[in-house]
Structure 1
């Protein structure tokens, strides 16, 4: 009996010894992305499937695109983030700094809209956005105004004191709106003189407030201060979910294409697992879950959106054909000067 007891104890010890390395081998992979609705959508619905498939644990490092890029730059010799989500303008900077490595060749890349594949596949669009015109439905109904239809509606005198514009020096939406109006005034990304020179006689007089980001918009809509402002369909849907009376309009000149891109970080601790995560996030099943959970517009052509989302947006293919694609190389080359000029001349 004593011998049997000894054997049993040794067996239990062996089992315990074997089980420790198994649990210790669980891999953790880190992904940098925007916090808030995006983080909630991915952590609740999208990432759990990848964790089941691979046995890895995916941890979100939340922050704005600029925050994530700053972390990547600070730790570029020994990065802690494996995969990064960045707005397309910020992604262009990351690529120029060598922060992103080429995506592995995969069938999923051929499923993406052509514009979602970055040059040399150093990254790819994981979420599609289009900055257009958002407006206060309650206010427009009270005033019997038709929905806005052009970027130049921001300069219509009837909206005096009802235009809210995000700062072009700190907000992608504000920059998009400014550049769209600059184009209609005769400029482009290499020439912003028309936008700056004519702002005071066009849009400027209508602006009730310049805001650093979109966080204040819900409050300003409810108080009736905000009538129209640049925004994406996804951001509008988030406001609608909170009961804010807003709607989105696609300008007749076309919305400004906005991509949230992903890239696998150069020299990350587990490049093989990072590539697997990137391929999964670009797949139709993952993007369908992101659409259901967070109204993220897919970049994978095979992904289906929920019926209500499809009805609200209309034909995404036709919208992308008319959307304006910006020259981020030209923008980033002059962004610092534009930011200083915006703060000095527009928000003076």
Structure 2
């Protein structure tokens, strides 16, 4: 009996030892990203598969892109985060500050759109959106208006007092749309004078309100105040899910590429695992889940986009046709000057 008792005790201690060792081997990855629905969808549907396969726990550090890059700068010498998701404009700033580790060449890179590879692979796009024209379908039907077809529709006098435009100083949607209009006026990303000079006689008289973010647009669509506004097909899909009568139109001049990028922080303590997570996020499995739960256009070309999804997000082939990109190196260099000029001459 004594021998049997000792055997049971030894077995129990051995089992506890194994459990303790297994627990010690579970690593933690800290991922900086936007909170809210994005965090919920990733933690519920996308991260668990990676966590299970790699015996890792992913902890989200929630915040806006501006919050996240501020933390990256403050922790530059000893990063507390391992991977971050940033809007593409902010990501290029982070790259310029030397905060991102160059990603390893991986087979999945051959499956993604080439423009998703950012700055010699120091970051990579994991979510794809297209900025175009959102419009109030209910109001358009009431007025008998055809759907908008061009960036220049923002200057159509029939929309006087019915355009809602995001401030370029606070919104990428607003900035993208201003730059597209600037191109129609003869400007370039390096020369925004035409956009500023012609605004007061073209788009400006039509604007009811300049908003700091897109959150207010849903309310203004429901009240009938907003007729057209810059937005992404993804954002429009999210409004439609809530029963808000919004539709998306791809301008004939093309929409504007908007990405959320991911980078592994330079000098972080889990370099191999960080790179492995980013590789996973680019794969067909996670890209399919992002399409289903986050309403993003897949950045992996091998993802099959069902008709039901295309009905919600728009025809992918059409969205990707004649897509425009902007020069973030120029933008980040000139952004403060542009913001000041916008505040003085447009939103004064």
Q: Deviations over 1:276-302 (max 9, x none)?
A: 100000111110111011111111111
Q: Deviations over 1:29-55 (max 9, x none)?
A: 121222233222212211111112111
Equivalent in the alignment of 2:173: 173
Higher mean C-alpha deviation, range 235-244 or range 28-37: 28-37
Higher mean C-alpha deviation, range 42-51 or range 227-236: 42-51
- Asked if 1:322 corresponds to 2:322, the answer is yes
Higher mean C-alpha deviation, range 309-318 or range 290-299: 309-318
- Please give the secondary structure, in 2, of the residue aligned with 1:347: coil
Following superposition of structure 1 onto structure 2, how do residues 44-63 of structure 1 map, counting pairs within 5 Å?
A: 44-63=44-63
User: Alignment length, in residue pairs?
Assistant: 348
Answer whether contact 1:253 1:322 (CA < 8 A) is retained. yes
- Please give the secondary structure, in 2, of the residue aligned with 1:46: helix
- Please give the secondary structure, in 2, of the residue aligned with 1:230: strand
Equivalent in the alignment of 1:249: 249
Answer whether contact 2:295 2:313 (CA < 8 A) is retained. no
Structure 1's unaligned 5+ residue stretches are: none
| Alpha carbons of structure 1 residues 317 and 103: separation in structure 2 relative to 1, 3 Å | farther
Equivalent in the alignment of 2:293: 293
Answer whether contact 2:112 2:300 (CA < 8 A) is retained. yes
Following superposition of structure 1 onto structure 2, how do residues 144-223 of structure 1 map, counting pairs within 5 Å?
A: 144-223=144-223
- Please give the secondary structure, in 2, of the residue aligned with 1:48: helix
Q: Distance in 2 between matches of 1:334 and 1:41?
A: 35
Following superposition of structure 1 onto structure 2, how do residues 1-348 of structure 1 map, counting pairs within 5 Å?
A: 1-348=1-348
Q: Distance in 1 between matches of 2:306 and 2:40?
A: 18
Q: Shift of residue 60 of structure 1?
A: 1.9
Q: Distance in 2 between matches of 1:222 and 1:150?
A: 24
Q: Distance in 2 between matches of 1:21 and 1:312?
A: 47
| Alpha carbons of structure 1 residues 313 and 240: separation in structure 2 relative to 1, 3 Å | closer
Q: Distance in 2 between matches of 1:138 and 1:249?
A: 15
4+ long deviations beyond 3 Å? 311-315
Answer whether contact 1:134 1:229 (CA < 8 A) is retained. yes
Answer whether contact 1:131 1:233 (CA < 8 A) is retained. yes
CA RMSD, 1 decimal: 1.4
Q: Shift of residue 314 of structure 1?
A: 4.7
Higher mean C-alpha deviation, range 190-199 or range 2-11: 2-11
TM-score (norm: length of structure 2): 0.96
Q: Distance in 1 between matches of 2:86 and 2:199?
A: 29
- Please give the secondary structure, in 1, of the residue aligned with 2:174: helix
Q: Distance in 2 between matches of 1:236 and 1:121?
A: 30
Q: Distance in 2 between matches of 1:94 and 1:287?
A: 24
Q: Distance in 2 between matches of 1:319 and 1:110?
A: 21
Q: Distance in 1 between matches of 2:235 and 2:96?
A: 29
Q: Deviations over 1:182-227 (max 9, x none)?
A: 1101111100111111111111111111110011111111111111
Higher mean C-alpha deviation, range 55-64 or range 252-261: 55-64
Q: Shift of residue 87 of structure 1?
A: 1.2
Q: Deviations over 1:232-276 (max 9, x none)?
A: 001111111111110000001111111111111111110111011
Answer whether contact 2:92 2:328 (CA < 8 A) is retained. yes
- Please give the secondary structure, in 2, of the residue aligned with 1:67: helix
TM-score (norm: length of structure 1): 0.96
Answer whether contact 1:292 1:305 (CA < 8 A) is retained. no
- Please give the secondary structure, in 2, of the residue aligned with 1:231: strand
Answer whether contact 2:25 2:55 (CA < 8 A) is retained. no
